[in-house]
Structure 1
Amino acid sequence: MVGINGYEFIILAIIAVVILGPERLPEYASQLARLVREVRRMATGAREQLREEVGPEIDQVDWRKMDPRQYDPRRIIKEALLDDFDDTAKPAAARPAAPAPAGPGAAPSLAKAPAAPAASRPPAVKPLERLAAGQRAPFDIEAT
């Protein structure tokens, strides 16, 4: 937890005995024990207070998902960009293909494919408006 192994702990205890002396060491040890108990009590109280205020849902939260070390901005941006692409590409792929002509000299059929439901159609795209030669581009004060 702290990263101190057994040998380091023994060395720290020997240094504490030398610096503090055998007469003050029990007093400081009891103060340290009181401090540890107080910190544990405060942590338990904070946990209980949070559980009371938030409710039992706090036990169901997966805290590993909230860990900021797992976020990779490149992955998040890639997923967001591909998600938008997939949303626009799916309705076009869901449309049925036009039937193939019957023979080598046959003209293509003019029969229309059944219309796709309105919910699966991609949203109408406004055509790109070009500026006339010499026309200035519109200026938006709020955008700059």
Structure 2
Amino acid sequence: MFENIGWVEILIIVVAGLFILGPERLPSAAAWVGRTIRQVRDYATGARDQLKQEMGPEYEQLRKPLEDLRELRNFNPKQAITKHLWDDQPAEKPNGYPTTGGAPAAIPDRAVDRPLQQGERPPYDPDAT
């Protein structure tokens, strides 16, 4: 529940509560917040247990798709696309460079770069312009 809150944030909340409520009311307010959080957690646990008892085996069939949806919160589209495209680990990426961790890809047969002769025109690719 509070997994992203660090000590700095808690310290800021305590200092703000000290200024807002004052030192005499801060302990009772902190106790009230603790009791309320505990009560909400108990309600959620009780509701889940009651649902599990009433539904029986169908509860697991309902829980599985919900777990899959929970995994979507951590969905990284770049990682998913990379995994989908490169799952079979081809020897060569589309840009011609070898993949990391595999055997180096064969260099495609291309004309060896050489200096142009006097009066020779450079190659022209109409699709590149």
| TM, length-normalised to structure 1 | 0.41
Say which one has the larger Rg: 1
| TM, length-normalised to structure 2 | 0.45
